[in-house]
Amino acid sequence: MDAFEKIKKHYNFTRKDEERIHSLYSIVENQADRIIEYLESRIIDTADPVLVEKIETHPMLSNYHKYWLLNLFKGPYDTSYYRRLIKIGKIHTRQDIKPHFVSVAMNVIRASLMDILSEKIEDRSYRTEVKESLNKLLDINLDVITSAYVEEEIQQYSTAYRLKSTLVTFAERFSGLMNLVLVFALFSAKASETFYQISQDEVNEVNKLYDSLGGENWYNREGWPLSSASFSVDNLPDGIRIELGEVISSNSITTVYLANISEIRSEEHTSE
């Protein structure tokens, strides 16, 4: 059982209902233009700018409305009919026509048709049966059209969501790639550090300067006294840097000249 057959079954829309509605075709055909004219006047009365613009700038809409109305009584109520209703819902969604106004339009159509049937059918019992069958079909039409609205909106939202998700994923991957590049750059920088090698005697001489300048009382003496004769320009104890062969203590600013590696002399300066 296909989707539309299930829907008709849920509404208990039977073959007898179809026959009753088909019998009304000639009555409605003679009144179709008047019904559509009234429908569109009511649409304009809503003063909704989207609806009014559609009615005033698309005269062919009257033909589409009339085509739907006549097919309501002509059938057949098969898969093709079901697909046409879905298409109506999707087109209305894309045209930014709210489902509320579809319900309003269906209410206008329903009221007009009920008035016509009350006027044209004298047999009260038969008239009641016909109205019941027609109400079922109008409800089915409204159900399928509004369901198509929801489906179309979900698809539009899903497309936007997929686009957003793709952009976020790309941004995350790009960020991860850049982080990886930075890690490699740091490794490369680390690998290219310049190491300075001095003798242990020279280390001792530097530490003597540290002691003579009261290094133990310095506020910041992390890494002091020197404990290694090999150190990197990028990894020195606090207060030491190397520039053009100089070792400078920033605490009391002592300049140590490593002239010939083995020869050390110092000059003490006052820190500003």
Report pLDDT for 131. Answer: 96
* Best-predicted range by mean pLDDT (47-51, 140-144, 159-163, 239-243): 140-144
3-state secondary structure of 146: helix
Report pLDDT for 96. Answer: 81
Report pLDDT for 216. Answer: 73
Report pLDDT for 1. Answer: 64
Region 197-225 average pLDDT: 69
Of the candidates 62, 59, 57, the residue with the CA atom closest to the CA atom of residue 32 = 62
Report pLDDT for 156. Answer: 52
**Cα(100)–Cα(39) distance, rounded to whole angstroms?**
15
Read off the pLDDT band of 246 (50, 70, 90).
very low
Of the candidates 95, 68, 80, the residue with the CA atom closest to the CA atom of residue 153 = 95
Region 173-194 average pLDDT: 56
Phi then psi for 142, rounded to 5 degrees?
Answer: -65, -40
Q: Return the higher-pLDDT residue of 239 and 118.
A: 118
Amino acid identity for residue 96 in this structure:
D
Q: pLDDT tens across 28-50, in order? A: 999 999 999 999 899 888 888 88
Amino acid identity for residue 143 in this structure:
D
**Cα(106)–Cα(142) distance, rounded to whole angstroms?**
7
Report pLDDT for 165. Answer: 54
- Residue 33 structure tokens: 């233009």
Amino acid identity for residue 156 in this structure:
Q
- Residue 219 structure tokens: 């506020």
Region 12-31 average pLDDT: 95
Read off the pLDDT band of 186 (50, 70, 90).
low
Amino acid identity for residue 267 in this structure:
E
DSSP3 helix / strand / coil % (the chain, rounded to 5): 65, 10, 25
Read off the pLDDT band of 81 (50, 70, 90).
very high
- Residue 151 structure tokens: 């489906």
Lowest mean pLDDT across 4-8, 33-37, 147-151, 259-263? 259-263
pTM as predicted: 0.55
Report pLDDT for 106. Answer: 93
Region 146-163 average pLDDT: 59
Task: Classify burial at 192, counting beta carbons within 10 Å of its beta carbon; exposed 0-12, middle 13-18, buried 19 or more.
Answer: exposed
Read off the pLDDT band of 245 (50, 70, 90).
very low
Region 199-226 average pLDDT: 70
Q: Is the pLDDT of residue 252 over 70?
A: no
* Best-predicted range by mean pLDDT (165-169, 218-222, 240-244): 218-222
Report pLDDT for 27. Answer: 94
